[in-house]
Structure 1
Amino acid sequence: MEWEPPKNVSEVRSFLGLAGYYRRFVKDFSVVAKPLTNLLKKNAPFNWNDKCAQSFEELKKRLTSAPILALPSGDGGYVLRPHEINYPTHDLELAAIVHALKIWRHYLYGETFQIFTDHKSLKYIPTQKELNLRQRRWIELLKDYDCTIDYHPGKANIVADALSRKTVDHLAKELRTEIMHEAHYAPYAMHPGSTKMYRDLRPYYWWPTMKKDVAEFVARCLTCQQVKAEHQAPAFLIEILDLLLISGKLAKGLGTKLHFSTAFHPQTDGQSERTIQTLEDMMRASVIEFRGNWDDHLPLMEFAYNNSFHSSVGMAPYEALYGRKCRSPICWDIEGLRQLEGPELVQQTGDGIRGRGKSFSEGVTWRGILRFGKQGKLSPRYIGPYEILERVGPLAYRLALPAELSQIHDVFHVSMLRRYRSDPSHILREPEIEVSEGLTYVEEPIEILDRSIKKLRNKEIPMVKVRWSHHSPREATWEVEENMREKYPYLFPESVR
């Protein structure tokens, strides 16, 4: 039991209240707890010494060891005590029961059990005639279980009072970062956006400025900056209509204006490309995170998509189908009830969108990927970051490109640039490595596994699939046959002859 040592008389009284509830199971309880009870005497100074610490640790040890506590068995009924937190209203008291049933569904479904509550009116809610829509929905959920609701006075519920009124600080900042890291970088999460991530975390965690912290965390993610495009609100509605149906009367009757979408610009297709874009971004993130074996994580990508919040249905697709969200490692904690809003964050985002076509300051930014080099469907949308050297005209900037991009013109339009959000995790600090003179590592091709022809517009390029030393066949790469013949002629016995 991770209960920190008391720091004042109130915390000592709280701990002894919890421990005293189980005193009939602890041998010589009064003898062991005597140094702590002495601190509760009137006008006694609070002096936490070694005897108090020893008594505190001994009580925790006896309370958490057999035969005090044991795991439940599946051959009998359960007694459920959900109210470790005292809620102020009738609906929230019932909400606590519903939440406990959802969390422990795998234990309770199909079993006979009792629910003890300190809100007496809930005992008669199944027979109550007038119910609001929320209560009716929760009553339907209660009908799935074989349970009875019984009244248990709050004064007699000592254990719940000791746990719920324990003095705790806000969620530690280190723990907040770990929670957001798990919800964003875990293989079953697949880099969700700030809205999805916040809506997925909100039922289980809460801390001040949670929504703002989640948005800033996602904005600083290096993978998301590389694979996700920026968005802004559309100025008008775009309809994709068949050419045979185009007419002025039809457009007037629908109350819309017809605009044609341009080639290589699927953003003008309205919502027709939205789902595909989400899946593409998830696959791009998988390629960056998992490299060569990204296809092994496609089932996790499917799980992440189906178990994340969708604004179109107001919940996750899995929840819409089965009535509950699928449990993942991120959801095992107490839920928070307060909903946060970040108006200053929304204002900053809107200002950034409106000012996107205006100017960039000299410094560090992202450059959009151009049509050069190796390209593919799952290539990152952006590469960089690169430093801005100067402004060239009202809408163009000169960047400091590395040597490998020297053949590319270093001036780019503002539409191809994106602001880079720095984070300490993006900097990789490698420890100093002592190189042994006798240690060598040579990566050479071993064999050719396959051949193919890459067809371009005006020519064909022979390609070979090469397996390299210290790599499995699954990590084989496609290379230009002409280059491989020049560097490694022993791979082509026919040319040696």
Structure 2
Amino acid sequence: MTTIIHCLRVWRHYLLGARFIVKTDNIATSYFQSQKKLSPKQARWQDFLAEFDYVLEYRPGKANVVADALSRKAELESISTVLGDLPTGIKEGLGHDPVPKELVKLAEQGKTRQFWLEDGLLYTQGRRIYVPKWEELRKDLIRECHDTKWVAHSGQKCTRALLESSYFWPQIRDQVELYVKTCLVCQQDKVENKQPAGLLEPLPTSEHPWDSITLDFISSLPKSDGFGSIMVVIDWFSKYGTFIPCPKDCTAEEAARLFFKNVVKYWGLPKHIVSDRDPHFTRRLWTELFKFLGSELHFSTSFHPQTDGQTERVNSLLE
């Protein structure tokens, strides 16, 4: 009866003013309209049902097949039971994939308890079938658990749970994740649930030369005179650039020494320094040094090089 009440509340705007029949395989529910003694909850139900023009009709469970089909949890027959050409393909693939081929030998010799043979198929814990790396077997099974209409392009967890309930192979998680991530239908039709990106705002313009600078490294360059990287320093106000050759394995201490020798010595200490999250700039020595000297260090947001776009553009020209 609770189900009937719920459905009438959901479809109330469709059913008001129309006569309809409620068919149920619960014989006790079919007598609800003529029941004389009611509990407080049943009385509230009767008060709600008084709005509708309906008839409760009993139908035996054997004849109520439509409701039974809709009320049961859907199971994939092709996943729950191995049918068709799939067993043949799996059996054939076991002889071509070296990993299950070795497991079959161990199972035949009784040297493993995790795997066993049954009807030519290799099973593991949970009575899951080992799927060899052969032709498109694995990809076809992932497609069956993700693309078909009854699963409706579910996410990674649901797809993997459905697949792992009956099948097994090494790195199944990674393959399912890659397949779902690259599914064209999911990318085109699914709604983005992530929080939208914040408003991008330009950095404030400095009022004097060398008040604010941007700093970056170009590394992995061919060695020349013992140097394998370049420290790029750009003045935010005048766009003047200073390029300092550095050793390929330049440490934070060495970077600080070169910065003072080639920048601070000529232009003084800047008030603001904008850089990416390179280990040279995130080391405690570097941050504590400039904090002590009164300069503010600003790091760009991860995976957003446009924060330090001025230096990135100079880097591309310099390279």
* TM-score for the superposition, normalised by structure 2: 0.27
Larger radius of gyration: 2
